Structure 1
């Protein structure tokens, strides 16, 4: 398996190459050059596997044996998932009115990103120790990514991590999970702007080939292919739990998956699994930041004037960068077309999809948009019907289930991306209560440490200087250790 850029300028890269990359040198995003197809027989055999075993099988398809041997891969995945609070790692809950919810939030930071982030960190450490090298991780976050990325590499001697979050636009728990993670290798910045604002300087830093080379600069948000790879397993696990064929020759049943959508990483993973032969009907559910919904409904892939703050802050995104990967897949991997498309979007923040691309998008994806009132109403109804509490992002998906009930014989799954414990204000606004986990209760008493990116600052320069300074300190330390 080799990897290429969605913008046609880079081909033939190894898994290790893309693991240690952010954006590709041509500004695109890395994707596999081919997509393996899963047979019905394989699905029947895999139905008996646990989530962890399924994840290993999927990773083996995209990570060559000569890069990470299978027995090492199994050990790395096992180690990555060892800190999850339930033995099965993920859990499928079946509730009233055929409501099925896939819980992906049983990791350390109570968000689905812990799954992919912990695996990615283990793969990184494997290569860094093998090659005796260091890496610098640079991450912009709209809420959950930052805390999860930090916990996945917390205290690792081979890695420094720099995280920027939008100050005042995420929940208190999300912020404290980052600012209380104090370690020599953790560097947190609070930006006076939106998560989309943060992405602009980060793209410029990743485009600086010399900076990337000298500091081993890489990303751990869903720009990184490994994040997408691990997330494909969510969809396969849900499918095999709910819709797997019973007998040989029986046609594969369809599973509809309702996906809370921000940066579109999970949607991309679902599209890949669909191309691998799993009959999924994907529904991208968004809040008032509805660019993906407008793209599906009318072909209008244009940013609104501003990112709207909602009760589901992790998907308060107007630049769903993973849609570039979706467009690439749907266009038959036409990198030149995607390059022209995305450069126009980055330049003007406006884009009208061609009739053919819009049609292809509608064939694999439907969508919906939910207001804050709809989120609260859904949280209340799910509790009243089931005594089951959901976070506001999960409510974005469940709202569609309540608005459009399934008919007998159909299968549907809602993705639960985070624990409600991370969104106490939304729970209170819905008139509900929750018992906070001890780890969340303890955050208020912990010391915090971070730097501020003021609106008047040149964010790119400030982050660049910090990375350079950090590298100098590390080099001096390594030289001192050598002398000793």
Structure 2
């Protein structure tokens, strides 16, 4: 299988080359040239364990990796998860389920893709005899998951940009307390969107990218999105038969990558009826799906910091399909968004999607309500998804992080702090971070000085 750019001006690449490249040279995002049809294949997958299911799914895309090698890389990716089911589906009542995506090494859903991506990078380094320098930007969980996927892996270095003072203290410690020589946590002045904008500019500099063997670890990397498709399929196959036809996956999201993964699975023939985009007070996606207008606003720091985003990168992949694969129109829309910060759709068809918005003032109350009603504790991001659940549908809420990562907010909501031994151990370790301005020049100078 080959992978093409949403903007249509880059050469198609193999899976491994698309993974290594990250952002397409024309500034677009990679997508499969053609999505596989899984409509006749998903029913027999119902009895597979998580790693087996992931292998069966990923083999449709990673066609340049030998079958047994891919099986090994996938199997290794999920060995460090602390639940036998990897992504357990928990029934709160007959109409409400929670898909727990926080049993990986960093207690957040990003581990599902990052652990696999780290193994793919390690395999590529060994196969090609080349080092790789991974560059990413994070609003919280992505950076920690990426770092822990590459800790100590030979031939790799990882540079993670994050907004200084705008991630939770424990999220920061997961990035800055590893003690690994190949990890560089870069605390920048500004917001996540500032970090992401710098990252896109850096990857657009082809000479710099090639010279320093850069690869992207954000959800602009296609492997991230594909790996996340798997937990939707895993959950779908574990729903009661009668619930599947009326199920709505409710997804906390800021960068649109998490919910895009489920929607792509639907396009591959898995009949998931509906998705709800759950945003915090940084609600660009809520506004898009309720008004048809994509308008960038200022980021408001919130209690759900991983969703503090106003430029949703994966929107471009969705746009590509919305525009019928017309890469020229994608280029025009993205140019308008970059220039004016806004694009108004004349006709925005999205019957599969609904959206909700949750303010900071509402989050503690929702956490307390879920605890009282179901005896279940959720983190601030997952709390956003519990706002206005549909009474007519079966809701499958994606629990994106452990509540133990946000003790201050949980204490405000229920009067007690959840703890996790992995996080408690971090409190005793020294923080190592590098403060930088959010400028392309400062970041590239640092990367060049420390690249392997």
C-alpha separation between the residues in 2 aligned to 1:84 and 1:201?
33
Which of 152, 155, 162 matches 1:155? 152
For residue 98 of structure 2, give the secondary structure of its aligned residue in structure 1. strand
For residue 47 of structure 2, give the secondary structure of its aligned residue in structure 1. coil
Which residue is 2:376 aligned to?
388
C-alpha separation between the residues in 2 aligned to 1:177 and 1:351?
37
C-alpha separation between the residues in 1 aligned to 2:61 and 2:100?
25
Matches within 5 A, 1:130-149: 130-149=127-146
The reply on whether 1:258 has 2:258 as its aligned counterpart is: no
Which residue is 1:249 aligned to?
none
Alpha carbons 2:164, 2:189 under 8 Å: kept: yes
Gap regions ≥5 residues in structure 2: none
Which residue is 1:2 aligned to?
2
For residue 277 of structure 1, give the secondary structure of its aligned residue in structure 2. coil
For residue 316 of structure 2, give the secondary structure of its aligned residue in structure 1. helix
For residue 42 of structure 1, give the secondary structure of its aligned residue in structure 2. coil
For residue 342 of structure 2, give the secondary structure of its aligned residue in structure 1. coil
C-alpha separation between the residues in 1 aligned to 2:144 and 2:160?
9
The offset of 1:6, in angstroms, is 0.4
Which residue is 1:482 aligned to?
none
- Superposed CA deviations along residues 70-109 of structure 1, whole A, max 9, x for unmatched, are 1111111111111111122111111136220000110111
CA gap of 1:243–1:26, structure 2 versus 1, over 3 A, is farther
Structure showing the higher helix proportion among its residues: 1
Which residue is 2:194 aligned to?
197
C-alpha separation between the residues in 1 aligned to 2:344 and 2:397?
29
Which residue is 1:294 aligned to?
287
For residue 236 of structure 1, give the secondary structure of its aligned residue in structure 2. helix
For residue 174 of structure 1, give the secondary structure of its aligned residue in structure 2. helix
For residue 136 of structure 1, give the secondary structure of its aligned residue in structure 2. strand
Which residue is 1:405 aligned to?
391
The offset of 1:261, in angstroms, is 1.1
Which of 76, 81, 91 matches 2:78? 81
The reply on whether 1:426 has 2:409 as its aligned counterpart is: yes
C-alpha separation between the residues in 1 aligned to 2:115 and 2:415?
32
Which residue is 2:18 aligned to?
18
The offset of 1:57, in angstroms, is 0.9
CA gap of 1:76–1:238, structure 2 versus 1, over 3 A, is same
Q: Under a length normalisation based on structure 1, what TM-score does the superposition of the two structures give?
A: 0.90
Which residue is 2:275 aligned to?
282
Which residue is 1:28 aligned to?
28
The reply on whether 1:176 has 2:159 as its aligned counterpart is: no
The reply on whether 1:444 has 2:427 as its aligned counterpart is: yes
Matches within 5 A, 1:228-377: 228-242=225-239, 244=241, 253-280=245-272, 281-304=274-297, 306-355=298-347, 358-359=348-349, 362-377=350-365
- Superposed CA deviations along residues 177-236 of structure 1, whole A, max 9, x for unmatched, are 111122221111111210001112111110111111111101111010000000001111
User: Aligned Cα RMSD in Å?
Assistant: 1.5
Range moving further from structure 2, 260-269 or 431-440: 431-440
C-alpha separation between the residues in 2 aligned to 1:78 and 1:365?
33
Which residue is 1:116 aligned to?
113
Equivalent residues, number = 451
C-alpha separation between the residues in 2 aligned to 1:87 and 1:274?
27
The reply on whether 1:56 has 2:48 as its aligned counterpart is: no
The offset of 1:254, in angstroms, is 4.2
Alpha carbons 1:5, 1:24 under 8 Å: kept: yes
Alpha carbons 1:302, 1:349 under 8 Å: kept: yes
The offset of 1:303, in angstroms, is 0.8
The reply on whether 1:465 has 2:445 as its aligned counterpart is: yes
Which residue is 1:37 aligned to?
37
C-alpha separation between the residues in 1 aligned to 2:291 and 2:432?
45
Which residue is 1:481 aligned to?
none
Alpha carbons 2:248, 2:276 under 8 Å: kept: yes
The offset of 1:317, in angstroms, is 0.5
C-alpha separation between the residues in 1 aligned to 2:136 and 2:146?
8
